Amino acid sequence: MCKLGIRAIKMEIPVTILLALLMASPTSIGYERESSLPRPSTKARTQFFPDTTDGIHLEMVFNYNLKKPDAEEGKVDMVWGSSFATQPAGVYNTSYIPYSVDNFSNSVAWYQTNHPDWLEYLCDEKTLAFQFGGTTRAPLDFANPEVRAYQWANWVDAPLAGGYHGIAVDNIGLTNAWRRCGHFDRSGHWVQQYTGRTEDSVFRHDVLGWEAATYEHVHKYSKTATMQVNVSYQFSEPQADNLQLMTTTDLLFDERGFTNNGAPGQNVPSLKNWKAIVAAFEYVESKGVCYTMNGEEPQPTNEIGQKERLWVLSNYLLLKERCTYVSITGITKGSQNYGSLVIFPEYSIPIGRALGPMAKAHGVWERMFTGGLALVNPTDTTATVALPVGNSYKDLNGNPAGPTVTLSPETGEILLVR
């Protein structure tokens, strides 16, 4: 996602997570590793997030383009990686934190001088394991207890002490996409931690360990602070690890959502993947974790059409519960259009509260609300749906709908009671 901290103005381009089929075996490291990874004893703090039971609720992704946050008032529930700790009143602000690289705090040279043993390298033992093609953010050994202590003190405790409601952890995943291999110890000796392959059981173990320890730290530091993580289900990784990563948090920010990170020509998942994403969401929700569904489209935000918006929002409504949020943004020349406040008219539709869970009918999925109906056709065939009897409906443009509606493949529709 978002490759940018609160004070940064330059964004890096997201890339597709690399996949591989080879499993890795444990290797030697330079300090004692956790012997097991029990789930944290603390429970998710869903009670502190804004209530989303009625209507559509927005979590804005960054707000670094706003000179003043007043424009968010009454429109935004939460901000992921906010530039403002306490403003405006009523908005839930979180502070950005990466887990595996520097947080725009120090240069690579600073680490080479002060903490060379914190830096991660490729298996050639020469090249730093930078991420997303950048060379400015130092790759850090997040399994090192000293690194974690530094991250917590500077990127967790300090923002929370400054008034932030919680932290937002970015780009945490189970795949060793940047092919980390090891580091040099304080004596300059090479310590190999990983195989350098994309799928590595030790790497996964360390990622899960960092998340669990940081989650515990946040909850011990404050009685009300929360943690959000940017995690999407990784189909190449073990299901158990996926589900642990997605639920060791207070809120799951699913950047990929149902739009495949805005991949051009592929911004709708296959039916198989759609079902897997839905199942993962339902599991996350069953564990008492909140959820933000990101809708990133391949065109600039101001060019996102109603068809695309309805796809994101109809899926959102199918799954929405007490603390479920949504965001829709685009991409311009490879750069994510995060940081600006864009309010689509659909955000304010009077859809009301859900009358029950989603259900399959006529080959599509639907969910009834006090103010209308959400329909999703994730299949590759056209579907004709008979609308529920007892109400008259209109589409979001005011046109009468029914007694049947036709949904094209991989589309969504929202109808309102008239």
Residue 78's DSSP bridge partners are 59, 92
- Res. 11: pLDDT tops 90: no
- Could you tell me the two tokens for 129? 């394991």
Per-residue confidence (pLDDT) for residue 34, from 0 to 100: 53
pLDDT at 27: 33
β partners of residue 294: 327
Q: What is the pLDDT of residues 319-331, one digit of tens each?
A: 999 999 999 999 9
Which CATH number is 352-418 given?
A: 2.60.40.1180
* Position 339 pLDDT exceeds 60: yes
Average pLDDT over residues 348-374: 96
List C-alpha distances in Å: 405 to 359, 375, 400.
Answer: 17, 10, 10
Query: 407 phi and psi, to 5 degrees?
Result: -110, 125
- Of the two residues 408 and 235, the one the predictor is more confident about is 408
Residue 22 has pLDDT above 70, yes or no: no
- 69: which 2 tokens? 């946050």
Contact in structure between 339 and 349 (CB atoms under 8 Å) = no
Tell me which of 28-42, 58-72, 282-296 is least confident.
28-42
Q: What are phi and psi of 307, to 5 degrees?
A: -60, -45
Greater model confidence, 3 or 367: 367
Contact 13, 132 (CB under 8 A): yes
Run of H or E residues at 235: none
Tokens of 259: 């739009």
CATH architecture of 46-348: Alpha-Beta Barrel (3.20)
Q: Is the pLDDT of residue 362 over 90?
A: no
> What's the mean pLDDT in 248-270?
96
* Domains 46-348 and 352-418 alike in fold: no
pLDDT, mean over the chain: 91
Q: Please determine, for residue 390, whether its predicted confidence score (pLDDT) is greater than 90.
A: no
Tokens, residue 325: 């949020």
CA angle 50–152–146, rounded 5-degree value: 155
28-36 LR contacts (CB < 8 Å, sep 24+): 28/191, 28/192, 28/193, 29/143, 29/191, 29/193, 30/117, 30/183, 30/185, 30/191, 31/143, 31/144, 31/145, 33/143, 33/205, 33/206, 33/209, 34/205, 34/209
Cβ contacts of 176 within 8 Å, gap of 6 or more = 194, 196, 197, 198, 199, 200, 203
pLDDT at residue 40, rounded to an integer: 78
Task: Give SS3 for 264.
Answer: coil
Q: Is the dihedral of CA 81, 84, 86, 88 positive or negative?
A: negative
Strands 364-369 and 359-361: antiparallel
pLDDT, residue 15, reads: 28
Extents of the domains making up the chain: 46-348, 352-418
Contact indicator for 374, 314 with CB cutoff of 8 Å: yes
Q: Are 238 and 199 in contact (CB under 8 A)?
A: no
Q: Is the pLDDT at 38 greater than 90, yes or no? A: no
The C-alpha atoms of residue 151 and residue 275 are separated, in whole angstroms, by 36
* Exposure b/e, 152-179, CB count within 10 A at least 16 = b: beebbbebbeeebbbbbbbbbbbbbbbb
